[in-house]
Amino acid sequence: MTVLGDITQVDLSGVEPLLSGKKFSETGVRLALELSALSYNLNIRPWIDAGWSDITIKIRDRLFHSVDTTDSDSILRSLYNSIAPYFGGKIKRKKIRKRKKIKKQIVNPYKSEHGRAIILSKEIANGKFAIAIAFAGTGRNLTSWLSNFDFAHDDGIHAGFNKLTNAFLAKVNDIEFPSIAGKLGLHSLALRDVLLSAKSDNSPFVIFISGHSQGAALLQLFTYNLLKQGVKPKNIFGYGFAAPTTVSESFEQIDMPINLINFENDVFTRLGIQKHIGNVYLFQSDDTLKAACYGELAENAMFQDAISYLRSIDNTEESLFSTLAFTYALSYLPTKMQSEIFEGGSSVFRILPDDDTTTSISLMRAFLRDRYVLLIGHEPDRRSLLNKAKEYLSLIDKFGAKKLIEANMSAVRASHSLRLDEKGDLISCYAYIALNGFKKLKKIN
């Protein structure tokens, strides 16, 4: 049964990219993008209709398994009923009045999120099976973002991403594939068994992995772990979108059967530690993409300036320094002006409730300073920091802090998102690349 993905219209039941042996193909990019989108929206019905089964959803530190049946409605009911509590009503924000308490939560060592992933399987030929794994990107809550800021890298690997990868690896005994086990005449089959089999040239399994943003970081480190454990490169491949850097410059590179699709306007592709592991392909912006993905924003002067500013940031150190300087500038504003920043919606700088804006900014400043020291090993140069803050104060005086933040956040979202939340004529930049930009991708490493 032919079932088309709703973003790229690739056939979700197609087996060509999984059987061809080609590690980099246009169809493979499109299938991986649909799989990455699935890790966010969990819209599994099209995948079930396309013949995929043995579905496991990992949310935080819990696994939710589909029932072993060919009835798609039963599968959907079993999964949605089990995960519904995790996507129900919003948790009410408790008012935290003690600065030391919130500072301890934000700045001091914290408990990382466990990340989110979805795992599926499909028979793609007689006796040959695909195991698909998609790692989701960063969630919208603060603790989910904290893993991105855990910049410790004593072993050359981004500590936050590494913890998330290890949290997934800890579940390989519990992720099971009952339908494949039945076809192979086995009592049971776990992901651990699949990975052990994949160490053989004659393994019946092809492991197909995708991820977006933080998920693309996990794609890199998960694949690296499997290869170091002896999994054959011929049995594993994947694609990442909007991939951050995951390792230091001194980290020993190995050949990786994964491809990272990055967009030059997406600042997150240059953040993390220092470099990627895997084959990195860059798409350079053009007028056709701007029209298809940015729409009217492309003609907005502040949006254009924000894009230019984001493109000028080459690494995490520059990003942290600039953002820290901006929070310094915000901290010098009168309290009324600070409060106006958050009027009409939430903000990236919001930590405490609405009546404590000044403390929110102060805590964010302390947090960013702490992260800078963790990454670089020393305090930022005070004179340079204050000079940069003065530059931002001049821009705030000219345009207003709220407009500056909104312009930059719009530029980030428009360039980084895997898919757009709003229905309309525009598509995301990564969907555009998958649909129209494959031949224009340039390998940069």
Cα 430 to Cα 215: distance, rounded to the nearest angstrom: 14
* pLDDT band, very low/low/confident/very high, at 144 (cuts 50, 70, 90): confident
Q: What confidence score (pLDDT) does residue 360 get?
A: 83
Any idea what the Cα angle at residue 9 is, between residues 258 and 289, rounded to 5°? 75
The answer to whether 247 and 158 have CB atoms below 8 angstroms apart is: yes
The phi and psi torsions of 119 (rounded to 5 degrees) equal: -125, 135
- 263 strand-pairing partners: 283
Q: What is the mean pLDDT of the chain?
A: 88
Q: What is the CATH number of domain 16-84+97-308+424-443?
A: 3.40.50
User: In the structure encoding, which two tokens stand for residue 191, read together?
Assistant: 């992901």
Residues whose CB falls within 8 Å of the CB of residue 286, separated by 6 or more in sequence, listed in order: 440
Q: pLDDT tens-digit profile of 158-195?
A: 999 999 999 999 999 999 999 999 999 999 999 999 99
Q: pLDDT tens-digit profile of 58-114?
A: 988 899 987 555 555 666 666 666 666 555 544 333 443 444 444 444 444 445 567
Q: What residue ranges in 200-269 does DSSP mark as E strands?
A: 205-212, 236-241, 258-263
The H or E element spanning position 124 is strand 116-125
The answer to whether 252 and 288 have CB atoms below 8 angstroms apart is: no
Q: What confidence score (pLDDT) does residue 79 get?
A: 62
Cα 195 to Cα 344: distance, rounded to the nearest angstrom: 49
Q: pLDDT tens-digit profile of 335-357?
A: 888 888 776 554 555 554 555 78
Q: What confidence score (pLDDT) does residue 98 get?
A: 43
User: In the structure encoding, which two tokens stand for residue 110, read together?
Assistant: 């914290």
Q: pLDDT tens-digit profile of 4-44?
A: 999 999 999 998 899 888 899 999 999 999 999 999 999 99
DSSP state of 162: H
Is the pLDDT at 373 greater than 70, yes or no? yes
- 236 strand-pairing partners: 207
Cα 67 to Cα 72: distance, rounded to the nearest angstrom: 10
